[in-house]
Structure 1
């Protein structure tokens, strides 16, 4: 792994970064059905598209089957129509500064366990969160504003936070929550996702449905969640984030192209962007050098 400044140009992006999320046979079948519905009933086609867009693929079965070793223990929190799962170590000293670790779409809390162990060894109290419809939390579908609400719900129970460390779409949720006043001193974003307005265009493109579907999906999203999509854009977030922020991003990330992280880092006053190579979107979470930089950033504000 190598780390450099943000001035290096990003590699050529994949033809469509959304393709990796919707490459399963079931997703392809849904795409064929959606294209048919588009011709006969755009409204019904939009509802199907939103159902697919808000469904994590793959589902939670694999994450739930993975054993979680001691001293990590689970705790459940009431949230909307179900519960959220958080994980903490039972051997952390009382009063240790808390760090919230947030996964991305189709991920789960255990992706952050290695960093959690290192934070605990450094004297922090790491909290791993399974977001709605992921890991051992309830739900089959989720959306970004719901994730933001989940962060506030867990913060009311376990916060405030010394730091929030978040991956991919969880990074956008965390940034939006902090911009809305979530109590945290420091912020670290790893492989932060592009804004949802852009991902909708990619989604519609990979399913062969085009820009009209993306526009209808955006209108549906904003009408049903009450949150304008521009609030997840770099300019809106950057004007409201005051925490010292570190962004780590791989130049070969095909799911979340580097350009999005560059825009967000430029919009946040004093933010630092560091890049890696050949780690992609998920391997970056387990890289020793990345974990060292995250630990250093979290520890710097102690």
Structure 2
């Protein structure tokens, strides 16, 4: 059985030599100018790596793009042209350094079942504008999508997008059902892992967290399972692979315990991203989202 590393952030960033070089520079900067090193660490933390160009994929028919204005730039969404008018709308969102088209296998399954799936590229991801983004901005992008789409039958969200979807639902997002695939651990914990993966002192992650709360105006406590669990009543399916090396399976176990109406579907051998293309996972998601008349 695959075990989760002590620091999942190290697994996430280990593949980039550029990031490792930046980590060396951050440590050197911290020894000379701690405040400046905190700002530099935040810029790195807010920059999706690999860059969005690496995640861009051809848009296959019958999917087509739509552009929506958002916070001085634009969001790109993908919607099928063969969906019947009035079909239940399901928003599908990706995780950090991902793209909306990663969710296409699940989206196609939903469309074949008579629903209207909409795939969204978050800011600084895929074809959307921008180069840096944050978790609170992910949540605002979900609200922006709802302003265009109207109340949602469901949201299917992966990794960091799952935390954004949870936070949006806790704040009153009009959505009937939630599906969380490989949800990320709370951001304060990941900040600790991020700093540790580059050999930075714990005080750096503490300063980063404080700065995020000031700039974004959102307490990071609002992304913790206990805070979310008190505010979410929607039927929720959590899908997570037990060998996930980026987002520990234990985070989903804790999340399901905190939520009032949640079930955990554990997979094996699918990792953090392959779970999105697994046919059995698509069937599980479909069963959770099927309208009652089906």
Give TM-score, length-normalised by structure 1: 0.94
1:105 is aligned, of 89, 96, 119, to 96
Hey, what does 1:63 align to over in structure 2? 55
Distance 1:21 1:44 in 2: 24
Of residues 122-131 and 12-21 in structure 1, the stretch that sits farther from structure 2 once superposed is 12-21
Q: Does 1:48 align with 2:77?
A: no
* Residue number in structure 2 paired with 1:5: none
Instruction: Give the direction of change, closer, same or farther, for the CA distance of 1:301–1:265 in structure 2 (3 Å limit).
Output: farther
In the alignment, is residue 92 of structure 1 matched against residue 53 of structure 2? Answer: no
Distance in 2 (CA, whole Å) between partners of 1:22 and 1:271 is: 31
| DSSP 3-state at the match of 1:91 | coil
Q: CA RMSD in A?
A: 1.2
Aligned to 2:252: 261
Q: State whether structure 2 residue 27 is matched by structure 1 residue 35.
A: yes
Query: Does the Cα contact within 8 Å between 1:132 and 1:138 map onto a contact in 2?
Result: yes
Check conservation: 1:71, 1:90, Cα contact below 8 A: yes
Q: Given the two structures, how large is their TM-score scaled by the length of structure 2?
A: 0.97
Cα distance in 1 between the residues matched to 2:144 and 2:291: 27
Unaligned runs of 5+ in 2: none
User: How big is each residue's C-alpha offset from its partner over 1:242-289, in whole Å with a ceiling of 9 and x where there is no partner?
Assistant: 100010111101100011111111111121011111111011111111
Residue equivalent to 1:241: 232
Tell me the equivalent position of 1:124.
115
SS at match of 1:241: coil
The answer to whether 1:19 aligns with 2:19 is: no
Question: Are the structure 2 counterparts of residues 300 and 263 from structure 1 closer, same or farther at C-alpha, using a change threshold of 3 Å?
Answer: farther
Aligned length: 292
Question: Is the 1:186–1:301 Cα contact (8 Å) retained in structure 2?
Answer: no
* 2:243 aligned residue: 252
Closer/same/farther in 2, CA of residues 258 and 80 from structure 1, 3 Å limit: same
Which ranges in structure 1 are unaligned for 5 or more consecutive residues? Answer: 1-9
**Aligned twin of 2:282:** 291
